[in-house]
Amino acid sequence: MQIVLPPELEQLIQQQLAAGKYQSALEVITAGIHLLEQQDDIYQGRLSELQQDAQIGWEAAQCGDLVEGSVAMARIRENLRSRYASAE
């Protein structure tokens, strides 16, 4: 596979090589691809967590276990206050 990079990316690769962090342009590109994979793994994990949280909320709603938004926010604020007060 051959790839033509825009000048700004070529410059970034040259900067990484000049800094001595990598021995070749291929190493720089490979490191970038690994970071992209890590970022995607983090995104997928967070998406899964959010989907699970949404499912829990949906199930609670189906059971009638709901709290009014203003009440929930007041409880959250109080919880935070007590956490920070005990940490001092």
**pLDDT tens track for 29-60:** 999 999 999 999 999 999 999 999 999 989 98
Q: Is residue 37 part of a domain?
A: yes
User: 75 with 67: CB under 8 angstroms?
Assistant: yes
Structure tokens at 14: 């040259």
pLDDT at 88 over 80: no
- Residue 67 located in a structural domain: yes
In sequence order, what DSSP letters do the residues of 51-87 get, joined into one string?
A: HHHHHHHHHHHHTT----HHHHHHHHHHHHHHHHHHH
Range of the domain at 18: 9-87
Q: Which pLDDT value is given to residue 38?
A: 97
Looking at the domain assignment, is residue 22 inside a domain? yes
Is residue 58 included in any domain, yes or no?
yes
* Inside any domain, residue 3: no
Report if pTM > 0.85. no
- For the chain, how many structural domains are there in total? 1
34 lies in some domain: yes
**In this structure, is residue 2 part of a structural domain?**
no
Report pLDDT for 31: 97
Whether 4 is covered by a domain: the verdict is no
